[in-house]
Amino acid sequence: MKALVYEAPWQMPLREVADPEPQSGEVIVAVRAVGVCGSDVHGFTGSTGRRIPPMIMGHEFSGEVSAVGAGVSGWQPGARVTVLPTISCGACANCRAGLPNICLNRSGLGMMTTDGAYAEAVRVPARQLYPLPAEVSWEAGAMVEPLAVGMHAANLTPIQLMDTVLIFGAGTIGLLTLMAVRLKGAGKIIVTDLSPHRLEVARRLGADVTVNPREADLAAAVHEHAGPSGAPVVIEAVGAAATARQSLELVRPGGHVTWIGNSQPMIEINMPSIVTREITIRGAYAFNREFGDAIEAIRSGSVDVMALVEDVLPLAEGPRVVTELAKGQLDAIKIVLKP
């Protein structure tokens, strides 16, 4: 089969590789659509250490079951599926506490050394499969995973009806979180990003206020729309030191800050200002029940994920697209590849 093989930083050519064979308890999924994720782009540059070559990336995907291994029941070839890519052990303290997203032995398809879906087919433990309803397209099926990330962040964050929410970052996750906090009853939503294009999409998706810090004073805008003491709820979906720091500066005393962005490893923060203002900072990682809920949110039309899919391209275009995204030459929000 054909696959994009991540061989070394900045090198991910289309190669002919051996067809995957299902082991016991596994199926093969013929990939119909796979989203290009920012974490893959960061992995591609070798900057995060979360993709270890040689391997095949790709964890946001939908497809059709094409082969079923021994001991798998309930799945037949031809079944339309989307795949929960984070793999938990089911036995550790966190799994037993209902928190498989932070499993102490977690791994993931298309992460570290495990092959993912930038390929014509991928080997998947059967328990990771979710049925994809007929009315959800392959492309929308590839958006289930990032939507689940946004919904998980919204679920973890205490939001009262009509709370003003400030969101840093109008990339895929920032925008999906915007839709999720809207569903949860947020009041005014303020979105900030450096890209005019992304801010325009944010407005289309229901942001009340958008701020480009290159053109306007973000703090002044927050004070104008959320009040002089800041926003009660702030979500960081960039993963950079500057925005993480601003998320703490612009939250109201007693407020909640949720960090989803996760690229910059070390940042400096003002500890007394967190303590004396009783700020709650929390990390949000992956998802639990939100994966199934995201399928239903898309199926029912509660969330328009296709508004974020700006290009659908053949797998062979993947190396060019990922390179351009890594160099900052491409401003597309979500690109979906079709093997």
User: In whole angstroms, how close is the CB of 225 to Zn ion at the nearest point?
Assistant: 30
End-to-end CA distance of the chain: 10
Toward Zn ion, which CB reaches closer, 37 or 234? 37
User: In whole angstroms, how close is the CB of 104 to Zn ion at the nearest point?
Assistant: 5
Toward Zn ion, which CB reaches closer, 88 or 210? 88
Structure tokens, 205: 């998706």
Contact residues for 184 (Cβ-Cβ < 8 A; gap 6+): 154, 155, 159
Is residue 68 within 8 Å of 163, Cβ to Cβ?
no
Element (H, E) at 176: helix 172-183
User: In whole angstroms, how close is the CB of 56 to Zn ion at the nearest point?
Assistant: 15
User: In angstroms, rounded to a whole number, what is the distance separating the alpha carbons of residues 212 and 209?
Assistant: 10
User: In whole angstroms, how close is the CB of 140 to Zn ion at the nearest point?
Assistant: 15
Contacts with Zn ion by CB under 5 A lie at 37, 88-89, 92, 95, 103
User: In whole angstroms, how close is the CB of 110 to Zn ion at the nearest point?
Assistant: 9
User: In angstroms, rounded to a whole number, what is the distance separating the alpha carbons of residues 261 and 240?
Assistant: 7
Toward Zn ion, which CB reaches closer, 89 or 281? 89
Helix or strand or coil: residue 324? helix
User: In whole angstroms, how close is the CB of 40 to Zn ion at the nearest point?
Assistant: 7
Toward Zn ion, which CB reaches closer, 89 or 313? 89
- From 129, 78, 130, 149, select the one nearest 305 (Cα to Cα): 149
Toward Zn ion, which CB reaches closer, 213 or 292? 292
User: In terms of DSSP bridges, do strands 26-35 and 334-338 run parallel, antiparallel, or are they unpaired?
Assistant: antiparallel
Phi, psi of 234 (to 5 degrees): -130, 135
Task: Write the single-letter amino acid at 275.
Answer: V
Exposure on the CB side of residue 48, measured as CA atoms within 13 A: 17
Toward Zn ion, which CB reaches closer, 89 or 330? 89
